[in-house]
Structure 1
Amino acid sequence: MSTLNSLKMVNSKKPTAIPPVLHRRNKLVNKVWEQIQLAKASKEGGTFTVKKFKTVKDITGARKTIEHEKRIRQWWFVAMDGKVCLNIRYGAKIIEFAKGKTAIEVATADELIKALEIIKGAIEAGELDAQIEAASGAVRAGFGK
């Protein structure tokens, strides 16, 4: 028993759910990670896909789980001047970084990957919580129609 006495004992309860802010952060971080992987694959000339499981009924009515590729759309595009512009999306809504500023401009694919990694770090640090909250509210409002 003397061995256990050397440890600090506390009364603790595991949380059953994570806070909504943290849930939205994690959701956006996962999507940014997908974009980073997509940008890396695009730079190297390859493709990036994520496998997803879907439950369907077959002809007999039995349910089966099948695996298929999830469609990932890239968040960047080439502007008229040849520079790459990157939008960050939460659902179908584009996040606004500053008043009227919705895109990040980069010159090359390497800079695109670095910009995505910087954004991922900012999301994890909670710097974009207000913008994520606004985009989340706009997405939720679309379902209430």
Structure 2
Amino acid sequence: MEQQMASLQQLKLISAKRQQSVDPTQFRRFKLAGRLEDQIALAQAMLERRTYTKERVRSVRDASGMRSSVQVHTRVKPWWWVMENGKLALSIRYGSRVIALSPKSNAIECASLNDVVQALATVKAVVEAGELDAAITAVSEKVRAGFKA
């Protein structure tokens, strides 16, 4: 017993309380950053002329009623589209809503798919830095209001 106490005295003992949940702003930031990573992977796959699907784990009941986890592939929808002038427009989405990047604009104009990858990487860095927190929070409230109605 005395030897155990001597071992414990070598450690720095503190009184700490574990944080129960992640800050909502930080959670939304991580969620959007994850979706941006998916879009970057999708754009790079399109540049390499291959398909990109995201693997997800789903819980499925078998014939006997037992639940099991199964990996399924889900399609990732691109956030960009071709405009009338032949350039690409890229919108940043949170759920089903488009984030307003500035008061007058909601999309980024890109000349090619390479520019889309660069724009997505730039937006991801901006999101991780917390510069779009106000816009993400505003859109998040609209998304949540849709579920309450």
Instruction: Verify same fold: TM over 0.5.
Output: yes
Name the CA shift for 1:38/1:8 in 2 (closer, same or farther; >3 Å): same
- Mapping for residues 66-81 of structure 1, pairs under 5 Å: 66-81=70-85
Name the structure 2 match of 1:43.
47
Q: How does 1:125-144 map to 2 (within 5 A)?
A: 125-144=129-148
Gaps of 5+ in 2: 1-7
Greater displacement, 19-28 / 62-71: 62-71
- The DSSP-based 3-state class of the residue aligned with 2:118 is helix
Residue-by-residue CA offset, 1:111-133 (whole Å, 9 max, x unaligned): 11110000000000000001100
Which residue of structure 1 lines up, in the alignment, with residue 68 of structure 2? 64
Matches of 1:81 and 1:7, distance apart in 2: 66
Q: CA, structure 1 residues 65+5, in 2 after alignment: closer, same or farther (shift >3 Å)?
A: closer
CA 1:10–1:83 in structure 2 vs 1: closer, same or farther (change >3 Å)? Answer: same
C-alpha deviations, 1:24-70, integer Å up to 9, x for none? 00000000000000000001101111111111222222222221102
Point out where structure 1 has 5 or more consecutive residues left out of the alignment. Answer: none
CA distance in 2, matches of 1:110, 1:5: 57
* Greater Rg by CA: 2
Alignment root-mean-square deviation, CA: 2.1
Query: Which stretch shows the higher mean deviation, 10-19 or 49-58?
Result: 10-19
Q: 1:107 — aligned with what?
A: 111
Q: Counterpart in 1 of 2:100?
A: 96
1:138 is displaced (CA, Å) by 0.3
Equivalence for 1:55: 59
Quickly say closer, same or farther: Cα 1:85–1:61, change in 2 above 3 A: same
